[in-house]
Structure 1
Amino acid sequence: MIIPAFDFLEGKAVRLYQGNYLDKKFYNIDLYEHFIKYKNKGVKIIHLVDLSGAKNSEKRQLKLFKNIISYTKIPIQIGGGIRTEQDINTLFELGFKRVVIGSLAIINKIEVKKWLKIYGSSKIVLALDINIINNEKKILINGWLKETNSTLEEIIDFFSVENLKHVLCTDISKDGTLSGPNITLYKEIVKKFKHIKFQASGGISSISDIFDLKKTGVSSVIIGRSLLEKRFTIKEALECWQNE
């Protein structure tokens, strides 16, 4: 599945380079027009990130996201700044389909495990951002500022007892770079964790990248910057995924 992505900072669409808030590029886009086009082309789900909320929970862009929900029927998964059960309830009440949990899955594993049980595995996506050193997939948290001792494999194993289903895995060395995805990574984790629907993210710059990712067996590909910069169209991306 192709999942178009939009990151928002202070009410504007933006892309960060490797998660760096100081290295950002804003995009002047008609979001409503994009959503209409995506709906007409057959997009099944959209990925949104609240970068303001991720940085400061008091600056969550709920008004913006409420407006977005009001003018599209496409299911949306949303992440950024989700720290409490109340945050999750608020987003589900607004009409979001899934919530994406990042740092908290490492900082407070027991709480997030409880959420998987309460809301069900179809409603929760774990966003696991990794830095690969000597083939160890170390997870980074707090906007990629802090490397943990947890590995990707350990965390997936931990949450799998609560029927973890969706994992958004990003190799941070690729994010926002348009340098191509880490194909070796996705081949490896898809083979190891057959029960997980992986969402691949980071580095996608061409249709051939999508073609290569489809062959790894990932469930979905999240595409942000390359669509915003019109390196290919949503129609071309969807056709590539369906026809591979």
Structure 2
Amino acid sequence: MIIPAIDLIGGKVVRLFQGDYARKTEYTASAQDRFDLYVSEGAKYLHLVDLDGAKDPAKRQLDTISSLIKNTPVPVEIGGGIRSRQDAEALLNIGADRVVIGSCAVKNPAEVKEWFRDFGAGHIVLALDINIDPESKKRFIAVKGWQENSGVTIEELINDYREVGLSYVLCTDISRDGTLKGTNVELYQDLAREFPDISFIASGGIGSLEDVKNTRDSGAYGVVLGRALLEGKFTVKEALECWPNA
């Protein structure tokens, strides 16, 4: 599945390089214009990251997000600093199809598991951003905006959340994010083999249609496309020709 994505700061479409707010690129098209374009080219699902909310949940762009959801005819999943039941509930209440939970899932598993039980596993994506240890090859989840190693591997966390019906995992190899040098195909092959019941969404590094094809063949359920679309490397329509949405 092809899932176009945009990141927002102050209502404007931006991209950060490897999560660094100091290395920000701002784009001229509005968020709604971007979503409209992606839908017109065939997108059936969209991904939005509220970077203001990621920094400070009190500054979540709820009005902007609500308007985007109301004016976009396909489902949208929302991420960015969802750290409490109230954060998740507020987004689901304004029409988000799924909420994307990151660091909180690592730090407060008992609480987040309750959200799975109350909201349903189909409405929650775990966003697990990883650094791969060069010696042990272990895949450790990073937290606090990628600044801190949690000490927990992605495999350990997935096994822990299986008890509440974990269905969707958005997995980013941090070293590939924003580079346009290709995604970590081997990572998704390994995860899909080990956890065939989980739908893995690949993220980070996609820069060409060849990268899309490689990810398609990795066993991943879908791929989030951000910078490559914003910079015109290819279109959603062209990506869908490589990997048609089911």
Query: Structure 2 length as normaliser, TM-score?
Result: 0.96
Q: Match for residue 147 of structure 2? A: 145
Find the residue that maps to 2:217 and give its secondary structure: helix
Provide the residue aligned with 2:69 in structure 1.
Answer: 69
1:54 & 1:30 partners in 2: Cα distance?
Answer: 20
The corresponding residue for 2:54 is: 54
> 161-170 or 66-75, which moves further after superposition?
66-75
Q: Residue in 2 aligned with 1:108?
A: 108
Distance 2:33 2:84 in 1: 33
Contact 2:11–2:31 (8 Å) recurs in 1: no
Q: Which residue of 2 aligns with 1:174?
A: 176
Deviation of the 1:219 alpha carbon: 0.4
* Range with greater deviation from structure 2 (152-161 or 35-44): 35-44
- Hey, what does 1:44 align to over in structure 2? 44
Instruction: Work out the CA distance in 1 between the residues paired with 2:172 and 2:178.
Output: 11
> In 1, distance between residues paired with 2:213 and 2:87?
36
CA distance in 1, matches of 2:124, 2:79: 10
Aligned partner of 1:43: which letter? A
**How far apart are 1:86 and its partner, in Å?**
1.3
Counterpart residue type for residue 26 of structure 1: E
Match of 2:2 in 1: 2
How far apart are residue 207 of structure 1 and its match? 0.1
Residue 201 of structure 2 corresponds to which residue in structure 1?
A: 199
Q: CA deviation at 1:96?
A: 0.7
Superposed counterparts of 1:220-239, under 5 Å: 220-239=222-241
CA distance in 2, matches of 1:123, 1:21: 28
Equivalent-residue separation in structure 1 for 2:32 and 2:132 (angstroms):
37
State the secondary structure of the residue aligned to 1:29: strand
Pick which of 169-178 and 81-90 moved more.
Answer: 81-90
- The residue type paired with residue 185 of structure 2 is I
Is 23-32 or 228-237 further displaced after alignment?
23-32
Listed one character per residue, the Cα deviations across residues 123-160 of structure 1 (whole Å, up to 9, x for unaligned) are: 00000000001310001011001111100000000001
CA RMSD of aligned residues (A): 1.2
The more displaced of 38-47 and 187-196 is 38-47
In the alignment, the residues of structure 2 paired with residue 110 and residue 228 of structure 1 have an alpha-carbon distance, to the nearest angstrom, of 38
> Aligned to 1:140, what secondary structure does the other structure show?
strand
Aligned residues: 243
Offset of residue 212 of structure 1: 0.3
Amino acid paired to 2:203: S
Q: Structure 1 residue 92: deviation in Å?
A: 1.1
CA–CA distance in structure 2, aligned partners of residues 22 and 157 of structure 1: 35
Give 2:210's match in structure 1, choosing from 200, 208, 211. Answer: 208
Equivalent in the alignment of 1:98: 98
Q: Which segments of 5 or more consecutive residues in structure 1 lack a partner in the other structure? A: none
Report the 3-state secondary structure (helix = DSSP H, G, I; strand = E; otherwise coil) of the residue aligned with 1:167: strand
The correspondence for 2:185, drawn from 172, 175, 183, is: 183
Q: Indicate the SS of the match to 2:213.
A: helix
Question: CA deviation digits over 1:160-187, x for unaligned, max 9?
Answer: 1111000000000011111111111111
Query: What are the Cα deviations for residues 81-136 of structure 1, in whole angstroms up to 9, with x where unaligned?
Result: 11111111111111110000000001101001111111111100000000001310
Residue deviations 1:4-53, cap 9 Å, x none? 00011122111111111111111111333332332233311100001111
